[in-house]
Amino acid sequence: MAHPDRLATQSLLPGGFGKERTCVWPALLGVCIPSEPPLYVEVSPEPSTNDPPHPDERQVRLDIDQSFVMYSADDNDDSRRTVLQTSLHSLIVSLLRKRRKLYYFQGYHGIVTVVFLTLPPELQLPCIEKLSLHRLRDSMGPT
């Protein structure tokens, strides 16, 4: 990985890290980028039906139902929007069910959406977990 000063300077330039985001963001969070697909997945990006629902799942659903309204240039692309919403919901709920002491806050889905749209699926959950535990935790306590 590049020198921290170079990364800080580059992050402030127009376009920031650009296409390098998919490598730089996980590295900055301390998440290893797998060179091959993992043999097993420790935590599925799909919420387990065996886990009890997290108390904030209703609010997550309400907020995500309003997501991706302006995302597609094609106004008739409701199926794509539904797929994105379902995947985003699964990602957030998976983390909340795994880390039951974390609570959802207004705007969290916006942060996770940026990670969701930027990183490949195998890095999304590990990165939002690190981000939530080490950068957003103070905002994710019980109210």
Q: What are 37's two structure tokens? A: 């697909």
Residue 28 in tokens: 């900055």
**% of the chain exceeding 90 in pLDDT:** 64
Helices 121-134 and 21-29: angle between axes, nearest 10 degrees = 40
Residue 48 token pair:
């387990």
Task: With a cut of 90, say whether residue 129 has pLDDT above it.
Answer: yes
Hey, what CATH topology would domain 18-31+52-139 get? Helicase, Ruva Protein; domain 3 (1.10.8)
Domain boundaries, the chain: 18-31+52-139
pLDDT (0 to 100) of residue 31: 93
The model's confidence at residue 33, banded by pLDDT at 50, 70 and 90, is confident
pLDDT recorded at residue 91: 97
Matching residue, tokens 């797929």: 83
Q: Which pLDDT does position 32 carry in this prediction?
A: 87
Six token digits for residue 57: 């799942």
What DSSP letter does each residue of 20-32 carry, written as one string? GHHHHHHHHHTPP
How many residues make up the chain in this entry?
143
Tens digits of residue pLDDT in 40-90: 545 455 666 688 999 999 999 999 999 988 766 665 677 889 999 999 999
